[in-house]
Every structure is written in C-alpha cells, then in structure tokens.
Amino acid sequence: MMHGTFKVGDKETGSTGLAGDVRAFFAKRRWILFVVLPTALVALYYVLIAANQYESEAHFLVRSASSNAQPSSGGIGAALGMLGAGVSIGSSDASSVSDYLSSHDAVDTLARDYGLIATFRRPEADILSRLTPANPTPERLHAYYEKHVDIAESAETGITAIRVRSFRPRDSYDLVNALLVLGEHRVNALNKRAYENSLAAARRNLAAAEQLVKDSQAAVTSFRQVRRNIDPVATGQAQILMLQQLQGNLAQARAQRSAMANSISRSSPQFRAVDGRVRALEGQVSAESAKLSGGTNAIATNVGDYQGLLLRQQFASKRYDDAAATLQRATEQASKQQLYIVRIVEPNMPVKALYPKSLKIVLTVFMSLLLCYALGWLIVAGVREHSA
C-alpha cells in the first residue's frame, strides 16, 4: 500500500512539476504568448489561406488642344511647351475625371455593366479577402472598391495612375480598361456640356437675329401688298421723271402761247388750241405734283415708309451676319477647348501575384507586437520598481 501510494504521489508530484515548469517557462517568456503566437497565426493565414492578388496599372493624361493654352510650369507640361505642342494640361479637368472614377457613380456603372461584384467574389478569393455579402450595400461595395482600386493624380505632371488588384490577372486587366473607358465617357460628357453651354448664347442670338430678318421681310411684303407698289423708290423716280417731262412740255407750250399772243388774236382757233394745251399741261403737272407730295398715299410718304422698312431690313441682315459670325467663332473656340484622354501607359496583363505582401506583413506584425510588448514590459517594470 505504501509503495502504491508513493507511486501515486510520485506521479502527482511529477505532473504538478511539469505544469509548474510550463507556467514558469511562459511566465519568464510571456513574449512568446503575446508576440510569437499571434505572428505565427498571421503567418499561417498568409502562407496557407490568403489568395493571390494580381495588379494591373495604366496611366492617362487629360489634355485640351487649345492653341492659346499655356502649358504647366514643370514636368511634361513644360516639355510640351518647349516643343511647341500647343496643348495644356487641365488639372481641374483631370481631377474631375479622377474624382469620378473614385465615385459611387463609377462603382454603380461598373457593377451594372462590367460585373464588378463577380470580379471581387471569385472562387480563388479567401474568406477574409472576398467581397461579402453576395449582394453588398452600395456603401460596402464602394469601401471594398477603394481598397482594391487606387486612382492617384500627380499634381506636378497631371498624369493619373490607375492601379487595380483582383484575384485573376484577366480581371485586373479588364477592370483597368473599363475604368479608362469610363474616363473617356466622362470626358465626352464634359465636352458635350461645355460645348452646349459655350454655344447656347450664340445660338440664341442667331435665332433672335433670324426672327428679326423674317419679321422685317414680312413687313416689306405686307407694305407692298397694301400699297400695291413693288418698289416705291423706283415708282417715285419714274414719277419725278414724268413730272419733269410735263413741266418741260408746259414751259414749251407757255412759250408758244406767249409768242402767238403777240402775233395773232386771242380769239383765234390757233391761240385757243395752244392755250388749251397749256391749261391741260398745268392740270397734269398739278395732279402729278400732288401724287408726289400731297396726302397720306403720296409717293413721298410711300418712299419714306418703304425706306424705313428697308433700313430695318438691312439692320436685321447685318445683325444676322454678325450673329452667324459670332456662332462660327464660338464653335471654333469650343472645338479648341475640347478635352481628350491620352493613354500614357496602357494596362498590363499581370503574370506574377504582387499581393498580398506576406513577408512584409508578417514582419510588420511581429515588430509591432514586439514593440508593444517591450513598451508594456517597461511600464510594468517601472510601476513595480516605484511600488517597491
């Protein structure tokens, strides 16, 4: 009995000693529990579980083909300026394109037309890096998109870089191309809006001038129909010429009558005939003179009104010509200010997975935990020393 009890006690004593040794080991080496073990778990995830991610990259530049544009002060803008390329880099326009490619609108378009959600839910993706759930909210999808799509614009050169990470090389390549297409569509929309805004005022002025021409032409036509006179100016000139002829005939008749009055009797048939002709000519001259200047329907009145209409018609035509020239100039200027995207670097088809950077991440985790542990140890040691 005593021998059996001794064995049991010996076994129990040995077991207790082993546990104590383990506790003593970890008590002296707590850094293994707080540093090595978490680092090992992270390393296991990135070595055995984490899915490979492939990155594709492209660069583009937003330009405006304007002859009077000033190139930027440095970088590629200065080089183009020295070459006399006559192009400028619109930083605000490039920023608007970059901002659009990072926006909810672009994400919605990619999800609707380019299968963005399926791209981020490939079977190759591990559970931690895959987009979840299958029908994410717009906010969740946009947050995930921002983690895998990087759009960076250089303030110095104006070049925008697009970098996309996904779980298949073809997906990254296709998504970068899709973003470039979206950027080109955005630039086209900006061009259309700016073009329409630039020409809107000129087109309104041209339409108003065209209506003024139509109104003036209608006024001239109505005048001719009401006054029953195609060209009052020509009619007036003919009337003046006829009046001048009548006045000449009247002067000749009067001279003839005066000569006959000195040689024959006033009661003679010859004198009476000449005298009658003079009186007839005087009546004609008086009537034709009245047509020229007397009454509301006088030729002089018609000519004055008609010339006023012609003056307004000429003014309308001049205004129309000016408005048409203004529209032409605005069209040319708007065309010079059109933006377009230049692909500086085409998307590449990735071959090697660049992400995740397992070694870098594991080392970062290890160093961070080690630093935190060291700081904690120093704080605890200081507190104990102060208490003692």
Total structural domains within the chain: 2
Residues 310, 347 within the same domain = no
Do both 58 and 192 map to the same domain? Answer: yes
Give domain status of residue 73, yes or no.
no
pLDDT of 246 higher than 80: no
- pLDDT value at position 69? 44
Phi, then psi, of 351 in degrees rounded to 5: -115, -40
Could you tell me if residue 318 is inside a domain? yes
Hunting for tokens 């901002």 — which residue is that?
Answer: 99
Q: 345 and 322: one domain?
A: no
What's the whole-number mean pLDDT along residues 142-154? 94
Domain that includes residue 170, residue range: 54-62+91-202+338-352
d(CA 360, CA 166): 19
Q: What angle do CA 167, 51, 103 make, to 5 degrees?
A: 45
233 and 311 co-located in one domain: yes
The mean-pLDDT minimum among 176-180, 227-231, 281-285 falls in 227-231
237 and 164 housed in the same domain: no
Given a contact cutoff of 8 angstroms between Cβ atoms, the answer to whether 162 and 151 are in contact is yes
Residue 33 lies in a domain: no
| pLDDT: which is higher, 386 or 44 | 44
List CB contacts of 159: < 8 A, sequence separation 6 or more: 59, 60, 61, 76, 153, 344
pLDDT tens-digit map of 77-96: 443 343 333 334 456 777 88
Quick one: 168 and 277 in the same domain?
Answer: no
Assess whether pLDDT exceeds 60 at residue 261: yes
Least confident of 159-163, 174-178, 261-265, 356-360: 261-265
Handedness of CA 247, 250, 255, 258 (dihedral sign): negative
Are both 152 and 277 inside the same structural domain? no
Q: For residue range 18-51, what is the model confidence (pLDDT) as tens digits? A: 555 545 544 556 767 788 888 888 888 888 888 9
Q: Where is the domain boundary, 306, 333, 360?
A: 333
- 196 in Cβ contact with 95 (< 8 Å): no
Residue 236: exposure state from Cβ atoms within 10 A (0-12, 13-18, ≥19): buried
Average pLDDT in the chain:
78
Mean pLDDT of 169-178: 96
Q: Are 185 and 306 within one domain?
A: no
Which CATH number characterizes residue 128's domain? 3.30.70
In terms of domains, do 328 and 347 share one? no
pLDDT of amino acid 84: 36
Same domain (yes/no): 226, 303:
yes
